[in-house]
Structure 1
């Protein structure tokens, strides 16, 4: 009966439906879900990956924004005891309502390009209740996540994702695996939140602010791009050359700068000398 609900991919939702059985199998094998686990699939579309997840016996919650897809998903999976559908926007969804540190979530999604970065930042705020995340993303986004310092891909996304997670670039997926076929390659990435942060910041929000400021004008030196937050002397006090460009700094360097800023702000707030 699914043919009664033929659905055309919507451009405004950035929809490209996965149909390649080989790719679907490879994704399911990478996730390797167990029946004792709880998975959340963001944007299940027509259920290409959903079906395989449900067949593992795991509890599968899906979050879908497109109201036209809801009847199809209910028709295909509504009677499955381990399936639950949440109609809404994943960018506003409270993932803490489904998981806990005792039973962390495993998150899966074929994410549209236009929401991938803000959605990942939203999910990182729930990193304490997420075991891992497997995403299909535009290849260049995955390359930025997995980047190392010194290259053009290294930036805000790389730093903040790697602050919270280990990043594993799993494999590339060509346009032909989708309908309609996108104009770019995609890639599967696994993000695994750290059980202990390798470089803990005193204030993660301050770290994000500093990183954003640093990369707003990435061709400029730290002395110029961070001048509203830190002086050249403060940067040098962290054993970092103020003449470097932001892309030359490691995650540990950025955390050191953010911690310096945190100390200075607290000292200023209390009226005490640094």
Structure 2
């Protein structure tokens, strides 16, 4: 049965009771379409050995739907008022760990307490799988999704509500306006799809943008085929910083102090790139090969 609590009237009443309003600084837009809350859970295909990370507990509506189906849920909330409100909803679940903190220690790394809690839950469940399932605050969605693929505990699946513009970038193909570093980074090691596009009215308060549920399924073979994940991640980010420029200019800029223009031209020639090639035209497979050639020339390069 769908929970009745995550409705607009419930949220307005409960927040009024504790004397607070949704905080735009933390991206507090609550999903009030209960069927879509269920769709998020169903899309994650949770099983009894799954350890789930939820970033943005909110009132605990999504958490209470996931907990009965998972081994353990680690849920994170930065807002003290919502953290206390959710505690009341989650008090009877002994497989839920609530954390009150910022999910990110910095833009490139998760808060240590989160990875510690996830690691403890994984260790206590033999043959467990780690999944991210969350209604992500828009302002942290990109670093959350990106950083999890470099964290000490890598998820097998990520299901999240995010801004549609970001979802379009995640699933974009070469030669399209949305294709960029995030497209390459995620698709190089996962299969990504948009499950559902959601209008602003399914949230309260309604955001000014359209949202989407995205499902990202990690492909272990693709991931294992990347020799140095961190180098690939950083190099792709660097050459997409000015995505409309020619590829040659981007590579020269990225490799300054690490490779001469002559070395860059040799690298590009070896890949048979035309002189007018642009970064957004290059396929993921080609970028993977090109990155390895760059790494051979500048193994100590960092962004």
Q: Same fold (TM over 0.5)?
A: yes
When the two chains are superposed, the root-mean-square deviation of aligned CA atoms in Å is: 2.4
Q: 1:36 to 1:204 in 2, by over 3 A?
A: closer
Secondary structure at the aligned position of 1:231 is classed as helix
- 33-42 vs 171-180, greater mean Cα deviation: 33-42
1:153 aligns with 2:175: no
Give the whole-Å Cα distance in 2 for the aligned partners of 1:127 and 1:176. Answer: 37
Q: Which of 30, 40, 50 is the aligned partner of 1:37?
A: 50
Q: 1:127 to 1:139 in 2, by over 3 A?
A: farther
The alpha carbon displacement at 1:79 in A equals 2.6
The alpha carbon displacement at 1:198 in A equals 6.1
The alpha carbon displacement at 1:202 in A equals 3.2
Which residue in 1 is equivalent to 2:129?
Answer: 104
Contact 1:110 1:136 survives alignment (8 Å): yes
Give the whole-Å Cα distance in 2 for the aligned partners of 1:208 and 1:201. Answer: 10
Question: TM-score if structure 2 supplies the norm length?
Answer: 0.81
* CA deviation map 1:82-134 (0-9, x unaligned): 22101111113345421459423111111122111122222111375312110
Secondary structure at the aligned position of 2:167 is classed as helix
The alpha carbon displacement at 1:197 in A equals 1.8
Give the whole-Å Cα distance in 2 for the aligned partners of 1:237 and 1:193. Answer: 31
- Structure 1 unaligned runs (5+)? 269-274
Secondary structure at the aligned position of 2:61 is classed as coil
Secondary structure at the aligned position of 1:117 is classed as helix
Q: 1:134 to 1:127 in 2, by over 3 A?
A: farther
The alpha carbon displacement at 1:12 in A equals 0.7
Which residue in 2 is equivalent to 1:28?
Answer: 41
Question: TM-score if structure 1 supplies the norm length?
Answer: 0.89
- Structure 2 unaligned runs (5+)? 1-9, 106-110, 256-262
What pairs up with 1:55-204 in 2 under 5 angstroms? 55-56=68-69, 58-92=71-105, 93-94=111-112, 95-97=114-116, 98-99=118-119, 100=122, 102-126=127-151, 129-197=154-222, 200-204=225-229
Give the whole-Å Cα distance in 2 for the aligned partners of 1:223 and 1:185. Answer: 36
Which residue in 1 is equivalent to 2:241?
Answer: 216
1:51 aligns with 2:93: no
The alpha carbon displacement at 1:74 in A equals 1.0
Contact 1:138 1:186 survives alignment (8 Å): yes
- 96-105 vs 215-224, greater mean Cα deviation: 96-105
- 156-165 vs 196-205, greater mean Cα deviation: 196-205
